[in-house]
A and B are shown apart, each in its own frame.
Chain A
């Protein structure tokens, strides 16, 4: 199959799903083709509602996303899902197992199968792509925002990003969405856990999942307490938005509609308060920063492997110059080189 981004993009815009699949592979691989795709989609984006879904492994994110996708298709929407799973740090391989949870309720596979199971449901209305983290630093931080823009540009709305909520990159990605859903199952700890910093701070909507299990009400209580404390310490957002807590259970088939209503309500809030533009600016800024960091990392590696780099490194390793001075020398050298190139 061809790898020309322009031709693939043209086909993907016309609904050719395999071309979109290939474009996403090019995005993942980074480099010149990915940069080209970034140029191509520029100007075609901005209409999709970008929703992040995160939570601990096993919280029920994929199952919930599967329910949401089904709901969205029934509403005539055209959702895309980017499901991120970790790569093995040892082999670089990965088992991407999110799709099986999204294959319709109870694994009946209705919509992933692309069949008209119910009248009015567009054939193959959704697009699910699994993405491995692929170890290399910052790779995910570059691939995810571009993949999201690509989905947006070819007409998918909403675009749902699912990541495991561990690690700064994953939290940043979900935090940069329009609406961040944090999925919490029962049995993950008490109110003190809920008040530790991190994941819970980025939530726009809380989902207490597996609400059929014992302890679900305790989770709701602890999250409410955490939100109350935010209010008391003045940490809640200035606009008075308080993240709702929705109880959901895939087993009982409850909560998905309420979760989506809350997600839509949050979007309305962003639009009416003018905060949507701010989210968008933050997202652009986060991506620019990640791309700069990636380029600087590449430059760092190339300076270190240059003759100057190895000379300075040798001196540092021999104890002649302290590491601080070696680093300062090399950074100065890097800046000088960059200026000469201009």
Chain B
């Protein structure tokens, strides 16, 4: 049911909750979708570190190391995904941080494969259901860990 590891176990050490950073990368004011995603992931038992609007690769990188994030979710409605998402991936790589990046928002079909090729772990479109969103986010983390 819940895509997190066995949560709520009474015995210690307690099972880790997935820690997800959610951010709008670049100049983009459309954050309603990201707020919905934050709520979906919270309800799936994850801990969402919500960075919100006007983030940069540097600010997301700093947050990811301080928060020990398991996954980074980028929301893009600014048509900048083909530049900004690979930038983020490269920044993580040069920092030797092996954290999967999921891109959500408005991404034309023809851009999906190039994004995946650049190292993005998954692309979520407007039609994705709540269960799909949670399952995909949990899925990219376990794939990375394995």
Tell me the A residues contacting B by CB distance below 8 Å. 1, 17-18, 20-22, 24-25, 29-34, 87-88, 90-97, 99-100, 103, 107, 109, 112-115, 124, 127-130, 132, 134-136, 139, 298, 301
Contacts and interface: CB of A to CB of B under 8 A. Distances in A.
B41 to A, nearest CB: 7
Given A100-B50, A103-B59, A114-B62, A93 B44 contact: yes
Given A21-B68, A30-B13, A93 B42 contact: yes
A114 B64 CA distance: 12
B73 to A, nearest CB: 13
B43 A96 contact: no
Contacts of B19: 25
30 contacts: A17-B65, A21-B66, A25-B16, A29-B13, A88-B42, A90-B43, A91-B43, A91-B44, A92-B8, A93-B41, A93-B44, A95-B42, A97-B50, A97-B52, A99-B50, A100-B50, A100-B51, A100-B52, A103-B51, A107-B52, A107-B53, A109-B54, A109-B55, A112-B62, A114-B59, A114-B61, A129-B66, A129-B67, A134-B14, A136-B10
Contacts of B39: 95
B7 interface: yes
B17 interface: yes
A34 B43 CA distance: 27
A109 B98 CA distance: 24
Interface of B: 2, 4, 7-8, 10-14, 16-17, 19, 38-39, 41-56, 58-59, 61-63, 65-68, 97-98
A127 B61 CA distance: 13
Contacts of B59: 103, 109, 112-114
A32 B11 CA distance: 12
Contacts of B55: 109
Interface of A is mostly: mixed
Contacts of B97: 18
Contacts of B47: 87, 93-94, 96, 130, 132
Given A17-B66, A88-B42, A301-B10, A96 B58 contact: no
A308 B51 CA distance: 51
Contacts of B46: 93
A139 B12 CA distance: 10
A94 B42 contact: yes
Nearest to A18: B65
A99 B67 CA distance: 10
A139 B48 CA distance: 19
A113 B57 CA distance: 8
Q: Which 9 A-B pairs have the closest CB atoms?
A: A31-B13, A93-B42, A21-B68, A113-B59, A18-B65, A25-B68, A100-B52, A93-B45, A92-B7
A242 to B, nearest CB: 37
A112 B46 CA distance: 23
Nearest to A100: B52
Q: Which one of A31, A90, A94 has the greatest number of beta carbons of chain B within 10 Å? A: A94
A33 B13 CA distance: 9
Given A114-B58, A134-B14, 8 more contacts: A20-B66, A21-B67, A25-B16, A29-B13, A92-B7, A96-B47, A109-B59, A127-B66
A136 B10 CA distance: 8
A113 B62 contact: yes
A154 to B, nearest CB: 13
A90 B7 CA distance: 11
A135 to B, nearest CB: 8
A27 to B, nearest CB: 11
Nearest to A23: B68
Contacts of A107: 52-54
A29 B14 CA distance: 5
Given A22-B68, A136-B14, A99 B44 contact: no
A124 B41 CA distance: 29
A95 B52 CA distance: 12
A96 B21 CA distance: 9
Contact of A124 (B45, B62, B67): B62
A95 B38 contact: yes
A77 B113 CA distance: 46
Nearest to B41: A93
A93 B11 CA distance: 18
